[in-house]
Amino acid sequence: MDVIGLPAFLVQVNGPRDFTFTALNAAHKDQAGLDPDSVVGKKPETLLPARLAETLIENYEECRATARPLTYEEHLHLPAGARWWLTTLSPIVGASGAVSAILGIATDISAAKEREFRQAEKLSEVVRQKRSMLGVISRSVDDVRGPFQSVLGLLGVLRDGFVDLGDGKHAQIDLCEEITLTALAQANALCQSADGLIADSDAPRRVDLGHLCRDIAALIDPDRRFTIGFPTCKVMADPTVLELLLRLLLENAAKHAHADIFVTVSVAEAGALRFQVLDDGATDTQAPQRADGTAILPEGDAVGALSELGRAQALIDSLDGALTDCRAENGLAGIEFRLSGTLLEESTVQQAQRGAA
């Protein structure tokens, strides 16, 4: 395996959801900092934090069960540091026809991934500024359209009963009307052009919500302090915006939750999805607030521009959306947002349990 220039590892398949690491190549040690002697012969659940092990086992099991290659992004805290990896699992089929081992090859995409997140947040500020510009342009156009309409009305009054004496004044009235109509048309065109200043988000792509939420859960709760429930369906949406919003709101939920965090998705309306990130860190009263009396979603400057909620608010504002507080029937409370997208299949809920494996 050392001839492979990228980090590579081999996993033995003992049975359903039962795997053992059997080899790591030299590149894996160089780039990820993992010592083969400390990994080979061990199972994910005995080697790694509980939530991370749970996430890896889900990935290995999907590759084993489908006997097909699986490619995914993952964020791992390894000895060389926290990095983003693009990992491909390839099944190795034994003589019995069943998958007997899995070969994994990973590429470090940390720089590209962080750049992607930064660009998404910068884009939100650019779009906000462009929307402000659009407002100024629209108000300016409205300010000039009224007077132009008045000029047209006055020209109509002049025409009524006007006697042409052959001195060219009738032609001048016609010219004034033509100029006014041209100016009105240009004002309308300017307003339409302003609409095009708003930057579109990335083209929607297929997003596996279950996979995405498992990865974020492993990132924010590696030791499984919480039970985290999330949908296992697939949606069409802007993948970068959705991942960043869920990551920020789940990080916020982890700061307040006692034991339970849940993510839900449903159809809000045609072409739009409703997401809720809920936790059990709210009071039992109907008013959506935390146990210390603070609001679940503070207003104005109280939210903090650099906090998870502040960054999520700025991002969703750039999409003409809003964060709102919400309370579910099970008593959990949290944050809701809407995002352009479609549900590709019915949503079911998977719970990543807290506590020991």
Q: How far apart are CA 227 and CA 350, in angstroms?
A: 10
Q: Is residue 2 included in any domain, yes or no?
A: no
Q: How far apart are CA 327 and CA 254, in angstroms?
A: 17
Which tokens belong to 155? 């020209």
Q: Is residue 200 included in any domain, yes or no?
A: no
**274, 336: one domain:** yes
Q: Is residue 3 included in any domain, yes or no?
A: no
pLDDT, position 166: 77
56-114 residue pLDDT tens: 999 999 999 999 999 998 888 888 888 899 999 999 999 999 999 999 999 999 888 88
With a cut of 50, list the residues of the chain below it in pLDDT.
195-201, 356-357
| Domain limits for position 185 | 114-195
**322, 223: one domain:** yes
Q: How far apart are CA 249 and CA 276, in angstroms?
A: 9
Q: Which of 108, 140, 166 is the last residue of a domain?
A: 108
pLDDT, position 157: 77
Can you give the CATH number for the domain in which 254 is found?
3.30.565.10
C-alpha triplet 340, 233, 85: angle, nearest 5°: 85
Q: Which of 79, 108, 137 is the last residue of a domain?
A: 108
**Bridge partner list, 334:** 278, 326
What is the total count of domains within the chain?
A: 3
305-320 residue pLDDT tens: 558 888 888 888 877 7
**342, 214: one domain:** yes
- The residue to which tokens 């926290």 are assigned: 82
Q: Do the bridges between strand 260-269 and strand 227-231 make them parallel or antiparallel, or are there none, so unpaired?
A: parallel
Q: Is residue 261 included in any domain, yes or no?
A: yes
Q: How far apart are CA 129 and CA 114, in angstroms?
A: 23
**157, 61: one domain:** no
Can you give the CATH number for the domain in which 34 is found?
3.30.450.20
pLDDT, position 137: 59
